[in-house]
Copies of this chain bind each other. A is one copy, B any other.
Amino acid sequence: MHQQQIFTQMALQAWEMQISRTGKFLDSQTDEELLKEIAPGKNRNLYILGHLIAVNDAMITLFGLGERAYSHLDAAFIKNPDKAGFEMPDAAALRTAWKESNTQLSALFNQMSSEDWFSKHTAITDEDFAKTPARNKLSVLLNRTGHVAYHLGQMVLVK
């Protein structure tokens, strides 16, 4: 196997592992549990779930892969904190969105070549990218993988 393919595979495996762990945790929770705060005064897991869907979905435009599917979640789940009065989809709708979004992202990611992953994303200029080639799409995926892990660590505290 070509080295570059091995890196891409490693980063994708790390991504899929966090998504899978998060999915298993969500499946273990009732809809009512998703509406509980993870700790007194803190976010509810329903909010964290919507937040992860919206943040992950944004990789589609960042990687130049087409139109985002869940930008309508940004107001309630990225731009504003939990319990700020924004209308949210219910638990069933967010569970479906979580699964469909991850299926879509996996399909898009698996179609990308190693060269694609090592190319620049849409939020960096050609000049900056020439200076810092490590700021490529794969580095965004590594960061988003850490972001899922960060919030999964919080979600499990509800138990």
Contact = CB atoms under 8 A, between A and B. Distances in A.
Interface of A: 1, 3-4, 6-7, 9-11, 13-14, 17-18, 38-40, 42, 118, 133-134, 136, 138-139, 142-143, 145-147, 149-154, 157
Nearest to A7: B7
Given A42-B157, A150-B150, A157-B157, 19 more contacts: A3-B4, A3-B7, A4-B7, A6-B118, A6-B134, A6-B136, A7-B7, A10-B134, A10-B136, A10-B138, A10-B139, A10-B142, A11-B142, A14-B143, A14-B146, A17-B143, A17-B146, A146-B149, A154-B154
Contacts of A6: 118, 133-134, 136
A37 to B, nearest CB: 9
Contacts of A145: 142, 146
Contacts of A138: 7, 10
A60 to B, nearest CB: 21
B42 A133 contact: no
A9 B118 CA distance: 13
Contacts of A151: 153
Contacts of A153: 149-154
